[in-house]
Chains A and B, each alone.
Chain A
Amino acid sequence: MTPAEIKTQLTEVFRQVFDDHTLDIHDAMTAKDVPDWDSLNHINLIVAVERSFRVKFTTREVSALEKVGDLMALIEKKAA
């Protein structure tokens, strides 16, 4: 998948998980930028990403994520 395709699909996942259809994502985005994005919701997001892209993450990979850009890079690596 191309980075642009990943971003589009990931945006849709974010919008579903956070129930906000105006939400847009960018590389530097972190949990602080989205209301209600806390550790309780974080794994909901990860599960939704796994289902949408048909990939599986390890705890180590998830714990290393600091911003949305990292997540997109990880998806690109796994979906390749």
Chain B
Amino acid sequence: MFLPVVALGLYLCPLRYQRHYLLLASYAFYASAGLLNAGLLFMATMVTYVCARRIAVASEDRPRRAYLILAVASLLTVLAVFKYLNAVGASFGVATNLVIPIGISYYTFKLLSLVIDTYWDKLGEQRLVSVASYAFFFPQIPSGPLQRAGDFFAQTEPPRPAPPALIASGLRLILFGCFKKLVLADRLGLVVDPVFRAPADHSGTLVLIACYLFALQLYTDFSGITDMAIGIGRVLGINAPQNFDRPFLAANIQEFWRRWHITLTRWLGDYLFTPLRMALREWGHVGLIVCTMVNMAAIGLWHGPRLTYLVFGLINGVYLVVSALTLRSRNRFFKDHPRLAAARGIVGPLIAFHLVVVGFVVFRAETLGEAGLVLGRAVAAFQALPGLFMLRLQGHNPFFGLFNAYWKPADLIIVFVGLGVAEGIHILHSRGQVSWLLTRLPRPARWAVYYAFVLATFFWGISSPQQFIYFKF
């Protein structure tokens, strides 16, 4: 496979040429997906490089701002054209079968952040090979994380050998990511996909459960492929920022968005929300509402020209606005009622989780009608739950055979145990204890853990893995 060859080459390569080697490898990877794609990325990189350089060397604000606008406008135009032309054309009855280049959303945003950071004097003048290797860095092209140029350059300039501990942790992360994606996410998809394809053909209870399962599927899928991307980067000596931090533990919806797709939220926060908010800061609450809605609409639209993506963004925007405007009073209320505050610790995350699930259902649906159908049936089933539990207590089993069409009993166990194991590892990771714990185990035990994951992934990985959900962005 590509990675071992590239990694070996990198370790053997003289330090001085590491950047060039990495760039070449990344370019080869990307070119294999199509030379036109690679050409587009190269042009975008050149525009960014030239503009950033001009900004860095100019002393007057006027030319600096001109080059900034040039870079931002061209990058965003290209992104918009590729992502939206087909949809716009279709609405006029014109068929434009433009193929969306892989990772265009990701590398466009990386290049934008580089040129804006240069304008804000956070970055100095960069060599072309540095800009190119940042933009082309192949582990991050398909689905992020969105690493900032400063962070990337801090690890690559001056070039240094990849630390063995980093390589080891990278390999572990790749294994863990594969496990989450192939064993958990794709298995959850076995239920979620048929139910969402034909919600009217399934029982209300199953539709309700599929909504929850989709949230878990999206999480294991996206965090799985992100872990693989970060792991591959680490094997090549470059660490990348975290993209998920146990998001379903968030106490409220604001905290959720600090823990989910962290690099995208931060990117939009730094380059869209904050500048807009600063410009509108005299508008008070109206300013907050406008900026939040614009920001969340952007998060939705970033995924593509589907109406459900936009509505997903807008729904979360409303959540955040309501949350932000009521947070102070909610905090005061609980300060005055300390006994209720304990319940808040449990109810808060549950409410946040349900808000998120509703948004995700809209995200998953192809049309608003489908979303409405799924949510309508799920809500009805939710209201019927107490009745079903009463039946269960009376000895009947209304849940019998619920998953039979899609899961064997073993699948249910694998999902539960697998999610538990994955979450356990996430907890250890959030405490920085993963490598600590592993070094404390005797060698055979450590390797037993690795082999367990490898075997689990081989035996229980779904044999026709669905395309990574986030590959098409």
Q: Across the interface, which residues of B come within 8 angstroms of A41, CB to CB?
A: 324
Looking at the complex, which of B51-59, B266-274, B442-450 is the stretch in contact with chain A? Answer: B266-274
- Across the interface, name the chain A residue whose C-beta is closest to B335: A19
Majority DSSP secondary structure for residues of B touching A: helix
The yes or no answer to B120 lying at the interface (CB within 8 A) is: yes
Interface residues in B, total, Cβ within 8 A: 24
Query: What is the chain B residue whose CB lies nearest that of A41?
Result: B324
CB atoms of A19 and B120 under 8 A apart: no
Q: Which of B121, B255, B274 sits near A62, CB closer than 8 Å? A: B274
- Whether B120 lies near A60 (C-beta < 8 A) is yes
Instruction: Across the interface, name the chain A residue whose C-beta is closest to B122.
Output: A64
Q: Which of B255, B278, B281, B328 has the most CB of A within 10 A?
A: B278
- B254, B255, B270: the one contacting A63 at CB < 8 Å is B270
A68 at the B interface (CB under 8 A): no
Least distance between B382 CB and chain A CB atoms (Å): 30
Given contacts A39-B269, A40-B320, contact A59 B254 (CB under 8 A): no
- Chain A residues contacting B324 (CB-CB under 8 Å) are 40-41
Give the residue of A19, A60, A64 whose beta carbon is less than 8 angstroms from that of B328: A19
* Residues in chain B near residue A58, CB distance under 8 A: 278
B274-A47 in contact (CB<8A): no
Question: Does B292 belong to the interface (CB within 8 Å)?
Answer: yes
Question: B277 touching A43 by the CB < 8 A rule?
Answer: yes
Which partner residue on chain A sits nearest B119 by CB separation?
A60
Contact (Cβ within 8 A) A46 B281: yes
Is A42 interfacial (CB 8 A cutoff)?
A: yes
Using an 8 Å CB-CB cutoff, how does the interface string of B83-125 with A read, 1 for contact, 0 for none? 0000000000000000000000000000000000001111000
What CA separation (Å) do A41 and B273 show in the bound complex? Answer: 12
* Residues in B331-357 with C-beta less than 8 Å from chain A: 331-332
A59–B274 CA distance with the chains assembled, in angstroms: 7
Bound-state CA distance A41–B274 (Å) is 11
Report A-chain residues with C-beta under 8 Å of the C-beta of B254: 36, 38, 40
Q: A7: shortest Cβ distance to chain B, in Å?
A: 24
A60 to B331, CA, bound (A): 32
Q: Do B278 and A62 touch (CB < 8 A)?
A: yes
* Nearest-Cβ distance from residue B286 to partner chain A, whole angstroms: 13
Tell whether B462 is near chain A: CB-to-CB under 8 Å. no
- The CA-CA distance from A42 to B288 in the complex, in Å, is 11
B-contacting residues, A43-80, CB 8 Å: 43, 46-47, 57-60, 62-64
CA distance A58 to B254 in the complex (A): 25
Cα distance, A36 to B325, chains bound together (Å):
12
10 A-B residue pairings within 8 Å (CB atoms): A36-B327, A36-B331, A38-B254, A39-B277, A41-B324, A46-B281, A60-B120, A62-B278, A63-B274, A63-B275
- Top 7 A-B pairs, shortest CB-CB distance: A39-B269, A43-B277, A59-B278, A59-B275, A40-B324, A60-B120, A47-B281
